[in-house]
Structure 1
Amino acid sequence: MKHAIILHNPVTNSSKEDELDVLNQAIFIETALEELGYSYERAVFNLNTNDLIKLIKNSGASVVFNLVETINESGRLSFTAPAMLELFKVPFTGSDAAAIFTTTDKIVCKTILSFNKIDTPFWAKYLAEVVPEKYYIIKPISEDGSVGIDDALVIRGNEIKEIPKGYFAEEYIHGREFNISVIGGKNEFKVLPPAEMCFSSDYYETKPRILGYKAKWDETSMEYQNTTRSFRFEDVDTNLIAELKEIAGKCWQIFGLSGYARVDFRVGTDNRPKVIEINANPCIAPEGGFVAACNEMKLTSTNIIKRIIDDTIRNETGI
């Protein structure tokens, strides 16, 4: 029987919702692995590489499912997990260390996007770069899952007194938000049906239309209850949707993504898509946006996991 290891970051009773979600992802994967005829076990990632690699080698695993999103409660070093697996020639799912690094660091990501002539909102790392009349959202440089994002961080340029260490200022695009998921496979990647995050016009009339931490993780919050995902579009959006899908496919290729990914966009009144984030290994919990997009394409959980495993990074020498 084939064996898989599900590698994830440590979680405790005091972990936040975005960190605990990795357990939901693990359960989703385990259910599919059973259908695919795999045995499996979980392992917690730590920087004691000798013990961890010994565990993986002794298990006889043919693949490691990499769910590591944070190191010491920070996303900044999440690339170290795939880097370690690459170093020891261990086949693993998802993107490689280089892709994780270049997409997790939002400034590096935006620089690469701009170099490749893909629109992304204007940004400033230093106060001197801020344009006074623009509105900005102050965002963490290296966190995913809307960590550290709330309404108070949307501010006019002339009111910004400082940009804290580890943060940057990104131009706030008042408009629509889209998530485009992409899945790999044995032979080719597929861009999945686009989703729009819809903000209730009544609730968000006087609020910034952003997918902050509460809107994403706090089910009791007004933000969560007034933000919905939709896969239905009017004919007038046909060209826009085609452009979003084309750009998502380009991002997959430019950043060398693998397994599964999601590209997030904002579209303002000019109807021009601007990439705000690329998530190389997005949440794969059943209630998450990636799985929802897969479901729109009639992919079952087993189909999803099989495609991701088929697209696993293959080294010349495996376990």
Structure 2
Amino acid sequence: MTLKNKKIGVLMGGFSSEREISLRSGKNVTAILEKAGYDVVSIDVKENFIEELKNNKIEIAFNVLHGFFGEDGRVQSILEHMNILYTGSGVESSSIGMNKILSKQIAALYGVNTASFQLIEKKEDYKKVQFDLPWIVKPVAEGSSIHVEIIKDKNKIPDFPYSEKQFFVEKYIKGTEVTVGVLDDGKEFLVLPVLQLIPKNEFYDFEAKYTKGMTDFILPAQIDSKIYQQVQNEALKAHQALGCSGATRSDFIIDGEKTYFLEINTNPGMTDTSDIPAEAKSYGMSELELCERILASALKKKK
């Protein structure tokens, strides 16, 4: 089925703290598809975006929203209600994938190893943590390393908005950081080359992710071949365990011969500095082919 005769809306922006990154992703995807002759329009998702979908007669939504609303099942539910096909994971998979604790628990059931972790609902909960320092605290449902901090001293607990959102603390493992993309166009799974990340900062934080020159990328990762295959296998396991589609990116820490699954991103960035486009390029795939594989995942939802 050709998609060049379909009206495609690139959903970007949104309401989360990752809005600016999503806008960058959306502009990049729109430019790639336009150049290839697709009938595509950018839609900055704000309060009136449903009217924009209707007015533009969108048939397929290319979703590059990140975080709240765009990556957690909400916009997916709206699109299904409007009978608009969309790229990426479905309602349930998106909701689970956005929740780092739930996705870790499900991945673990499929044999994917993960570091010890514990829910933090208020600052006092740090006193109940059952594993040794250092720790790393993260929001349960937010990406781009926003509100992420390493804790080395129990007397220096960050003043995060605990009453507004859920956090969890995880055993901090100082090791080799890698990330692995999986593409699923509805016909086949393709595990991309493993990308090794060497951030200039202490860990792969927001600045390191989105500022050129703040992270050294080694692609493919210079790690033991057995471990390389293992993280690829575990990235695919996590993708399948959560029932994802389109593109996902799973992050791991390697410590010696052990690998630890950190999280899965069910709608990874598509900017010019994002990991998935870099991995696809290393595989020998053009930006257009990457976008077309993701676009094809929308047909998986065709009724």
Superposed pair shares fold, TM > 0.5? yes
Alignment gaps of 5+ in structure 1:
none
1:33 aligns to what?
33
Q: Any residues of structure 2 matched to 1:117-128 within 5 Å, and which?
A: 117-126=111-120, 127=125
Question: Residue 211 in 1 paired to residue 204 in 2?
Answer: yes
Give the aligned CA root-mean-square deviation in angstroms: 2.7
Distance of 2:14 and 2:248 partners within structure 1: 23
The one-letter code sitting in structure 1 at the alignment partner of 2:218 is S
Q: Residue 44 of structure 1: CA displacement?
A: 2.8
Superposed CA deviations along residues 201-231 of structure 1, whole A, max 9, x for unmatched, are: xxx7xxxx42112222345xxxx63x31101
Q: Residue 240 of structure 1: CA displacement?
A: 0.3
Q: Residue 27 of structure 1: CA displacement?
A: 2.2
1:3 aligns to what?
7
2:240 to 238, 253, 257: 253
Alignment gaps of 5+ in structure 2:
none
1:94 aligns to what?
88
Deviates more, 1:18-27 or 1:183-192: 18-27
Distance of 2:57 and 2:156 partners within structure 1: 57
Distance of 2:14 and 2:49 partners within structure 1: 13
1:109 aligns to what?
103
Percent identical pairs in the alignment equals: 22
The one-letter code sitting in structure 2 at the alignment partner of 1:212 is D
Superposed CA deviations along residues 39-64 of structure 1, whole A, max 9, x for unmatched, are: 22122334x5xx64453244333311
* SS of equivalent to 1:148: coil
Distance of 1:215 and 1:35 partners within structure 2: 30
Distance of 1:184 and 1:56 partners within structure 2: 25
Q: Residue 36 of structure 1: CA displacement?
A: 3.7
Distance of 1:41 and 1:161 partners within structure 2: 42
Distance 1:232-1:68 versus aligned 2 partners, 3 A rule: closer
Q: Residue 94 of structure 1: CA displacement?
A: 1.0
* SS of equivalent to 2:104: helix
Q: Any residues of structure 2 matched to 1:48-197 within 5 Å, and which?
A: 52-71=49-68, 78-126=72-120, 127=125, 129-131=128-130, 133-150=132-149, 153-156=150-153, 164-165=162-163, 166-197=166-197
Q: Any residues of structure 2 matched to 1:213-292 within 5 Å, and which?
A: 213-219=206-212, 225=214, 227-234=215-222, 237-269=224-256, 271-292=257-278
Distance of 1:24 and 1:76 partners within structure 2: 15
Q: Residue 159 of structure 1: CA displacement?
A: 6.6
Q: Is the 1:180–1:193 contact (alpha carbons within 8 Å) kept by the matching residues of 2?
A: yes
Q: Residue 141 of structure 1: CA displacement?
A: 1.1
Q: Residue 89 of structure 1: CA displacement?
A: 1.9
Q: How many residues align?
A: 291
Distance of 2:27 and 2:157 partners within structure 1: 43
Distance of 1:55 and 1:294 partners within structure 2: 32
* SS of equivalent to 2:106: helix
Distance of 1:21 and 1:97 partners within structure 2: 22
The one-letter code sitting in structure 2 at the alignment partner of 1:230 is I
Distance of 1:76 and 1:39 partners within structure 2: 22
Distance 1:199-1:66 versus aligned 2 partners, 3 A rule: closer
* SS of equivalent to 1:190: strand
Distance 1:162-1:115 versus aligned 2 partners, 3 A rule: farther
Q: Residue 37 of structure 1: CA displacement?
A: 2.5
* SS of equivalent to 1:41: strand
Distance 1:280-1:29 versus aligned 2 partners, 3 A rule: same
Distance 1:277-1:40 versus aligned 2 partners, 3 A rule: same
TM-score, length of structure 2 as denominator length: 0.85
Superposed CA deviations along residues 3-48 of structure 1, whole A, max 9, x for unmatched, are: 211112348xxx97x43222221222122212442122122334x5
The one-letter code sitting in structure 1 at the alignment partner of 2:271 is A
